[in-house]
């Protein structure tokens, strides 16, 4: 609290923090060079330290250091390449900041809210991914004074978020499939599963409206994963779909299996698109037209936003660019060299 900063009297950490407009923890991080502080804030604190002639003592440093030097990240589950890439980005950022990283997966846990709230006692802040907890839990965490960043989810009140674009690329990839002559498209994915999937479905529907093409009334709901993709693709093919727009690459790879099991070919008979641009997307045959989102950058950016919150900064929410990567599975002519070069629609 402001009253604890003791701005009167000889120079001390409270007076420096008060004049610089930061917390005592930020002053300590600047003085000891052992934590995340923005360059602008660091310069301001150093200038105040010099102006006031402040020299820290051991007890002051002990009071100001953070309790844990650790952050946490909460996922729905840890299966699939998307989560591993996000974790790699987040972990790289924590290593550079000399922090530890706790990882919690809430999938199929009835007490997920309690597990998230329990993690608070071991970390200095949390990254919450997708719909792992509802908005009320986010607010409870914020009310406790815990820095919280949301990943792949819209902001909640003053809790910032980092997301990759979904709406615009979904419109673009759907429109690109129309350009190959397809009119019976199916969307494979579950909009209720994540805000990202919800926006992809909305973009798919908007592209139909923009093109004046009647679209399906509902998606073919499927959890993320190759097996679910194969089962959902079977249902879509039964309904007469000639193109499958999938909410992630694993669903698309499952769709390949369903198409081939019927003696059909991708893309000659059925066009397929994915999302994420996992490593396998460019090497599968035919190579997968997909939407590339910066998965590692998502994790690293979320960690950086959280470090700024912990350092008493006020970071803004971030939306990262995603781009359609055109390969062969949509019906584009495959080049002769392997691996196939990519065309990115911007």
pLDDT, position 10: 54
Predicted confidence at residue 113, as pLDDT, reads: 81
* Mean pLDDT of the 148-153 span: 96
pLDDT of residue 341: 44
- CA pseudo-torsion sign 131, 135, 136, 141: positive
Question: pLDDT digits over 186-213, tens only?
Answer: 999 999 989 999 999 999 999 999 999 9
- What's the whole-number mean pLDDT along residues 96-112? 84
pLDDT digits (tens, 9 = 90+) for 238-290: 999 999 999 999 999 999 999 999 999 999 999 999 999 999 999 999 999 99
Q: What is the pLDDT of residue 7?
A: 40
Query: How many of the other CB atoms lie within 10 Å of CB of 267?
Result: 23
- CA dihedral over 245, 246, 247, 252, signed as positive or negative: negative
Tokens standing for residue 3:
């009253």
Whether residue 328 has a cis bond before it, omega within 30° of 0: no
Res. 340: pLDDT tops 60: no
Handedness of CA 230, 236, 242, 246 (dihedral sign): negative
Q: What is the pLDDT of residues 6-64, one digit of tens each?
A: 344 456 776 888 898 887 667 777 876 666 778 888 889 889 888 888 776 544 443 44
Owner of token pair 């019927």: 262
> Mean pLDDT score of the chain, rounded to an integer?
87
* pLDDT at residue 18, as a whole number: 83
Q: What is the pTM of this model?
A: 0.78
Domains of the chain, start order: 2-64 (1.10.260.40), 70-163+295-315 (3.40.50.2300), 167-292+325-345 (3.40.50.2300)
pLDDT for 345? 55
Whether pLDDT at 73 is above 90: yes
Average pLDDT rounded to a whole number, residues 220-225 = 94
Considering only 65-74, 113-122, 198-207, 285-294, which range has the smallest mean pLDDT?
Answer: 65-74
**Would you say residue 179 has pLDDT above 90?**
yes
Q: Nearest CA to 239 among 260, 213, 267, 258?
A: 258
């Amino acid at each position: 609290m402001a009253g604890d900063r003791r701005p009167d009297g000889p120079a001390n950490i409270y007076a420096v923090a008060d004049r610089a407009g930061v917390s005592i923890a930020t002053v300590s991080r600047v003085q000891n060079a052992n934590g995340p502080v923005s360059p602008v804030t660091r310069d301001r604190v150093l200038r105040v330290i010099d102006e006031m002639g402040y020299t820290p003592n051991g007890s002051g440093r002990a009071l100001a250091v953070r309790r844990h030097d650790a952050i946490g990240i909460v996922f729905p589950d840890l299966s699939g390449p998307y989560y591993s890439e996000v974790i790699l980005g987040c972990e790289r950022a924590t290593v550079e900041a000399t922090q530890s990283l706790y990882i919690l997966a809430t999938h199929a846990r009835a007490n997920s809210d309690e597990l998230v709230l329990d993690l608070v006692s071991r970390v200095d802040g949390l990254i919450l991914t997708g719909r792992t907890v509802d908005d009320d839990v986010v607010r409870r965490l914020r009310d406790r004074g815990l820095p919280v960043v949301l990943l792949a989810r819209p902001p909640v009140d003053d809790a910032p978020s980092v997301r990759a674009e979904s709406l615009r690329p979904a419109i673009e990839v759907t429109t690109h499939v129309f350009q190959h002559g397809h009119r019976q498209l199916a969307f494979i994915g579950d909009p209720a599963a994540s805000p990202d999937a919800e926006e992809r479905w909305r973009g798919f529907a908007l592209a139909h409206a923009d093109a004046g093409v009647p679209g399906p009334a509902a998606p073919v709901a499927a959890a993320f994963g190759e097996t679910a993709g194969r089962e959902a693709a079977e249902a879509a093919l039964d309904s007469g779909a000639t193109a499958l727009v999938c909410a992630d690459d694993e669903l698309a790879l499952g769709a390949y299996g369903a198409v081939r099991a019927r003696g059909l070919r991708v893309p000659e008979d059925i066009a397929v698109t994915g999302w994420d641009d996992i490593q396998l997307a460019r090497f599968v045959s035919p190579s997968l037209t997909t939407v590339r989102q910066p998965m590692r950058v998502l994790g690293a950016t979320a960690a950086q936003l959280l470090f700024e919150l912990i350092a008493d900064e006020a970071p803004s929410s971030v939306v990262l660019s995603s781009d359609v990567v055109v390969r062969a599975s949509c019906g584009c002519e495959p080049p002769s060299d392997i691996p196939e070069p990519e065309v990115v629609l911007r």
